[in-house]
Chain A
Amino acid sequence: SQQGEEDPQALSIQEGENATMNCSYKTSINNLQWYRQNSGRGLVHLILIRSNEREKHSGRLRVTLDTSKKSSSLLITASRAADTASYFCATLGGSNYKLTFGKGTLLTVNP
């Protein structure tokens, strides 16, 4: 069963712009993780945010978590063509400790 759902499904922006992707989930979580996947390749971990955290940064990435709204967002600032990829959120269930991935957001950054 899918827990995290990303929005939008696809996003196209110009280089230098910011990209925001959202993830909503339905039940309590232990943590939420964001991953990136270049076409057909393995997923690469970006950021893990725990349920008691509200915001985390890593370079040009900023992740927020709102447990009251059961949602998270991933912001990529000053995007580059190399950021073109699919981005997935994964939620670790708070009670069942089940890690569930969403279907992803396809980000295209045009040069």
Chain B
Amino acid sequence: EAQVTQNPRYLITVTGKKLTVTCSQNMNHEYMSWYRQDPGLGLRQIYYSMNVEVTDKGDVPEGYKVSRKEKRNFPLILESPSPNQTSLYFCASSLVLKETQYFGPGTRLLVL
């Protein structure tokens, strides 16, 4: 089944404790991206990747890192999480940028 998977789905952590949210797609998509969704602010793009080893900042990249070493994986790294990074995070992929985005199920993060 074609899908985008994210892990973990729910995470509670404390300020400053490094964490990684994994994202994997099995559709051989070139384009992948990360969004955060907050009430009243909609979806905002954090980082995106046009292909392996090609990443770029979105609208709200501060406090986040990404890497794209393999085509299927695009992990989101929070080196030192802070409470303002409490949010619902979505990974998405598409064949190429201009095409339909396929979203993962979301990761709900709470930083205390």
Contact = CB atoms under 8 A, between A and B. Distances in A.
Decide whether A and B are members of one complex. yes
Interface of A: 1-2, 30-31, 33, 35, 40-45, 48, 88, 90, 92, 97-104
Main secondary structure of the interface of A (DSSP, over half): strand
Contacts of B45: 98-100
A81 to B, nearest CB: 23
A42 B104 contact: yes
Nearest to B106: A42
Interface stretch (B14-22, B73-81, B92-100): B92-100
A33 B98 contact: no
A30 B42 contact: no
Contact of A40 (B42, B88, B102): B88
Contact of A41 (B41, B97, B98, B106): B106
B106 A101 contact: no
24 contacts: A1-B59, A2-B42, A33-B101, A35-B101, A35-B103, A40-B88, A40-B108, A41-B105, A42-B4, A42-B105, A43-B90, A43-B101, A45-B100, A45-B101, A45-B102, A48-B99, A48-B100, A92-B97, A98-B45, A99-B33, A100-B45, A100-B59, A101-B42, A103-B42
B42 A88 contact: yes
Contacts of B104: 42
Contacts of B92: 43
Contacts of B44: 101
Interface residues of B, number: 24
B43 interface: yes
B34 interface: no
A75 B102 CA distance: 22
A42 B90 contact: yes
Given A41-B105, A42-B106, A43-B103, A92 B98 contact: yes
Contacts of B33: 99
The 5 closest A-B pairs by CB, nearest first: A103-B42, A42-B103, A101-B43, A43-B103, A45-B100
B97 A99 contact: yes
A40 B10 CA distance: 12
